[in-house]
A and B are shown apart, each in its own frame.
Chain A
Amino acid sequence: MAKPAVINIIDEHIPHSQKSDDSLIMLFQNGEHEVFRYLVERYQEKVRNIIFSIFNDADVVDDIAQEVFIKVYQALRNFRFESSFYTWVYRITVNKCRDELRKKKVKRFFSFHSFEKTTNLKIENMATTTFDDENLKGVIEESLKKLPEKFRMPIILKDIDGMSYEEIAEVLECEVGTVKSRLSRGRTMLKEILMPILV
């Protein structure tokens, strides 16, 4: 995507809240840092929800989302309009979540509390219950948690956020073909976990 040469003249007369992402970014890069608020308000819920989809823990969402936007703020002056702001923010979010997952993994390694066992136990308990929508959602979310991150992330971006293969490839910085094969592999793994419970 090419850098917009100048801010559209018509754009100058419309309120910041209705300006395009690119216009707001250009204003930010020209020193009007207060427009960052409009970008945050536009994407904060999407970012919070994707973090929630990855961690399934409402307690960590806001802290991580704030870290994401601080990183966005610091990097925005160097944004070169080569991708959409939306996929760029998602990429930062996914990378931040990966860092956090890595930290959690290390913590788990040194703690007596085994995440794997807890998840298994939760799924086994759910297997003995009948499924209403809420139970089903719980089972699927817990099963999704069991997938390795590289297979889980494309499923979250595709099925929860409704992104296209191309957008996912941009966010995860890989080829479209890789996205397709990871989605397929991830779904097969998910199916193998769900089959004994749901059938």
Chain B
Amino acid sequence: MNHLTQKELEQIISLYIDGELELSEKKRLESYLETHPIVAREVEILRLSKRTLAQSTPLVKNDWFWLKLSNRLEQESKRPGVLSFASRPALAAGSLAVFTLILIGIVTIKDAPLFQKFFIDKKNQAENIYRNNIMTGNILPLFFQFE
């Protein structure tokens, strides 16, 4: 035991107090304690503290515990869920924005040919105006002919 560091000795004492030391180690520690009364006193204090803590008086049983808990569980189940929008305006606004974007996306993809046709018509119309008016020198009626 004499070659042990203070930390190692403390760990052995802690194991000893818990009754976790092997018999040979236990005997070695006990013979060490016989020649080191200060350490023996420290061990005694730790044993006393362990014994005292183990004898802690339990709390008085609470017979109403379940009744109160079941009431609270019921309240919890009635409470709005985690994704309650009423209590989280920022979450509601964010969700609405995401929902709108998704909706626009779906409509765009679904009606893609319709949109394509619309833009092609507009492009052709603009080309016609360019060809029939600007190229022939009629600039003023340009915007009147544009639908």
Which residues in A have some Cβ–Cβ distance to B below 8 Å?
36-37, 40-41, 44-45, 48-49, 52-53, 58, 61-62, 65-66, 69-70, 73, 133, 136-137, 140-141, 143-144, 155-156, 158-160, 162, 165, 180-181, 183-185, 187-188, 190-191, 194-195, 198-199
Whether the Cβ atoms of A187 and B65 lie closer than 8 Å is: no
* Listed residue (B7, B49, B58, B72) with the most chain A CB atoms within 10 angstroms of its CB: B49
Question: Which one of A70, A162, A181 lies within 8 Å of B73 (CB-CB)?
Answer: A70
Say whether, besides A45-B58, A58-B59, A194-B49, A65 and B65 are in contact (CB < 8 Å).
yes
Which residues from B are CB-within-8-Å of A190?
Answer: 46, 49
Contact present for B68 and A66 (CB under 8 Å): yes
Is B53 among interface residues, defined by CB-CB distance under 8 A?
Answer: yes
Q: Is the CB of A183 within 8 A of B14?
A: yes
Q: How many residues of B contact A (CB 8 A)?
A: 33
Contacts of B62 in A (CB 8 A): 44, 48, 62
Is B15 an interface residue when CB atoms closer than 8 A count as contact? yes
Q: Does B22 contact A (CB under 8 A)?
A: no
Minimum Cβ distance to chain B for residue A82 (Å): 25
Which A-chain residue is minimally distant from B49 (CB atoms)? A140
User: Chain B 2-36 against A: per-residue CB contact (8 Å), 1 yes, 0 no?
Assistant: 00000100110111011010000000000000000
B45 partner, pick from A137, A184, A194, beta carbons under 8 A: A194
Asked if A187 meets B59 with Cβ closer than 8 Å, knowing A69-B69, A70-B76, A136-B52, the reply is: no
In the complex, A48 Cα to B49 Cα: how many Å?
22
Given known pairs A48-B62, A187-B46, A191-B46, the reply for A162 and B54 (CB within 8 Å) is yes
19 additional contacts (CB under 8 A) given A70-B72, A183-B14, A195-B45? A37-B66, A40-B65, A45-B58, A49-B58, A49-B59, A52-B59, A58-B59, A62-B68, A65-B65, A66-B65, A70-B73, A141-B56, A143-B49, A159-B54, A180-B11, A184-B15, A185-B10, A187-B49, A191-B49
B131 at the interface (CB under 8 A from A): no
**Cβ of A195: which chain B residues have Cβ within 8 Å of it?**
42, 45
Give A52 to B76 CA distance when docked, in angstroms: 25
Q: Which B residues contact A (CB, under 8 angstroms)?
A: 7, 10-11, 13-15, 17-18, 20, 41-42, 45-46, 48-50, 52-56, 58-59, 61-62, 65-66, 68-70, 72-73, 76
Complex A-B: 20 CB contacts under 8 Å: A40-B65, A45-B58, A45-B59, A48-B65, A49-B59, A52-B59, A61-B59, A62-B62, A62-B65, A69-B69, A70-B76, A73-B73, A141-B53, A159-B50, A160-B54, A184-B7, A190-B46, A191-B46, A195-B42, A195-B45
Question: Which residue of A has the minimal Cβ distance to B76?
Answer: A70
Chain A neighbourhood of B66, CB < 8 A: 37, 40-41, 44
Majority-rule SS of B interface residues = helix
Give Cα A187 to B42, complex, Å: 10
B10 touches A187 (CB 8 A): yes
Which single member of B14, B56, B61 contacts A137 (CB below 8 Å)? Answer: B56
